[in-house]
Amino acid sequence: MKLDVMYFAWVRERIGVPRETVETEAATVADLVRELSAREDRYELAFSDLDALRVAVDQDLTDFDASISGAREVAFFPPMTGG
Amino acid sequence: MKLDVMYFAWVRERIGVPRETVETEAATVADLVRELSAREDRYELAFSDLDALRVAVDQDLTDFDASISGAREVAFFPPMTGG
Amino acid sequence: MMRILVQEASFDVGAELNAFQAGKTDMGAIVSFSGIVRDLPEAPLRHMLIEHYPGMTERALTKIAEEACERWSLGDVLVIHRYGQMAPGDQIMMVATASPHRKDAFAAADFLMDYLKSRAPFWKKEVTADGSDWVSAKDEDEEALRRWKQG
Amino acid sequence: MMRILVQEASFDVGAELNAFQAGKTDMGAIVSFSGIVRDLPEAPLRHMLIEHYPGMTERALTKIAEEACERWSLGDVLVIHRYGQMAPGDQIMMVATASPHRKDAFAAADFLMDYLKSRAPFWKKEVTADGSDWVSAKDEDEEALRRWKQG
């Protein structure tokens, strides 16, 4: 399936793009992370410490075990610092 | 001694004046209350339930046992309702 | 730093908040509370009268603000409280606090309101077509003070 | 009732507070929080950059405001949060709550800030003469959420 993957803050800076469309059969966020990390060093670097990352599937905050089947977009970013 | 006695809110309405100067030898607020209550019904009525009253001596909130020796002004009023 | 105003005149809460915030580049967090005259559902309010104790009012508000400054890290405190006659929707009062930390700004404003409500010498009277009544103090207002009473 | 604004443009916090208060004769208590860009004592801040996640931001803020409306008796909620480039002293964001009860107005504003801080997708970057750094989330911000987690 085709999935929009988005990156914010220092995750975006490490990956080098704010968003991209990936072709994947990953079932969960964690599967997708493994797939991307296997591709290139910049992904492996960005995803090296998952505790320092947050993930949203279709704009809802979730965790790395979450299913992405049927999802349209997945976003990776550091903990939020608004306010 | 001469003392300025002030009344606020419904205490003022019951006593009928906002302030008056009294000549008294009362040692405490409670003594002053007894003296005034003995004078006229309107005082006795205003001071009939001391739990419903608050007192300030020289503009500091205190209680009915407080000394008034050397005080310049004593004020009686209901619990505050500002804000 | 603090500013305490007890006045009959109305005031512009937005303008006061802007003035309070101006130039505070060392304070990240500003909390304000504003109190507005509420209309009464039962009998429409003609107006509210607020009586106060000139002299003691300023003294009590200053003491309350000083205590807030001792308890929390505050860069500034503002208290404005009106007396006299007010209509429904009119501004009665406001407090504002500025702090480097949002928790301090919130706690101090909350504290100021609890103390101002039961320890500053103001009394409210509501005037409706049916007559007029002094507003009674609420037990919960005394209880609210207990929260702050030990460390 | 609520109003959620996510915008790049600056805004006038006083004018927004006045507009929020206008006509609220059934709400006695208004609490506002405003966040201002703080200068840095160590290295003067050139500017702050705020990145956000368009779409998710509005969605997250709306959910947080809806939860506040379920928990407390609120007549209105306002959230304004900027993104983009800001200078020291600039307004970053504000929340405001209106309630018949001051305790509800305070608690809801405090809750909104705690959730907005760690659950709405904003990220701050500080730019100084020495370079630029993403602001780290604080452990205390996660802890602050725990206070609201059970009844």
pLDDT per residue over D6-39, tens digit each?
999 999 999 999 999 998 989 999 999 999 999 8
D151 pLDDT above the threshold of 80: no
pLDDT per residue over D73-92, tens digit each?
999 999 999 999 999 999 99
The ranges assigned to domains in chain C are 2-130
Q: How far apart are CA C147 and CA C139, in angstroms?
A: 14
Torsion angle, CA of C58/C60/C61/C65, rounded to 10 degrees?
A: 130
User: Mean pLDDT over residues C54-60, rounded?
Assistant: 98
- One-letter identity of residue A70: G
Quick check: C25 and D37 CB within 8 A?
yes
Percent of chain D whose pLDDT exceeds 70:
99
Q: Is residue A63 part of a domain?
A: yes
**Residue C53 C-alpha, separation from nearest chain B C-alpha, in angstroms:** 8
Closest partner residue to A82 (CB to CB) among D55, D117, D136 is D117
Tell me what pLDDT residue D41 has.
78
- What is the full per-residue pLDDT of chain B (83 aa) written as tens digits? 999 999 999 999 999 999 999 999 999 999 999 999 999 999 999 999 999 999 999 999 999 999 999 999 999 999 999 99
Contact D88, D102 (CB under 8 A): no
Tell me what pLDDT residue D40 has.
80
- One-letter identity of residue C118: S
What ipTM goes with this model? Answer: 0.95
Q: Is residue B83 part of a domain?
A: no
- Looking at the 3D structure of chain B, how many domains does it have? 1
Q: Is residue A82 part of a domain?
A: no
Helix (H/G/I), strand (E/B), else coil: D118: helix
CATH number of the CATH domain containing A49? 3.10.20.30
Q: How far apart are CA D123 and CA A80, in angstroms?
A: 6
Burial class of residue C67 (count of CB atoms within 10 Å of its CB; 0-12, 13-18, 19+): middle
Claim: this prediction has a pTM higher than 0.90: yes
Closest partner residue to B80 (CB to CB) among C55, C122, C125 is C122
Closest partner residue to D121 (CB to CB) among A10, A80, A83 is A80
| B70–chain C Cβ distance below 8 A for any pair | no
Burial class of residue D150 (count of CB atoms within 10 Å of its CB; 0-12, 13-18, 19+): exposed
Tell which of D12, D30, D93, D139 to mutate to test the C interface (max C CBs under 10 Å). Answer: D30
Tell me what pLDDT residue C97 has.
98
Which residues does chain C have within 8 Å of residue B52's beta carbon, measured at their own beta carbons?
A: none
Q: D89's torsion region: left (phi>0), alpha (psi -120 to 50) or beta?
A: left
User: Mean pLDDT over residues D118-137, rounded?
Assistant: 96
Name, in order, each residue with C-beta under 8 angstroms of C42's C-beta and a sequence gap of 6 or more.
Answer: none
Quick check: C38 and D25 CB within 8 A?
yes
Q: What is the mean pLDDT of chain B?
A: 97
* Cα end-to-end span (Å), chain C: 24
Q: Is residue B54 part of a domain?
A: yes
Structural domain range at position B14: 2-77
Tell me which architecture the domain covering C2-130 has in CATH.
Answer: Alpha-Beta Complex (3.90)
Helix (H/G/I), strand (E/B), else coil: D8: coil
What is the band of C150 on the pLDDT scale with cuts at 50, 70, 90? low
Helix locations, chain B, DSSP H: 9-15, 29-39, 41-46
Q: Is residue B82 part of a domain?
A: no
* CB neighbours of residue D61 within 10 Å: 27
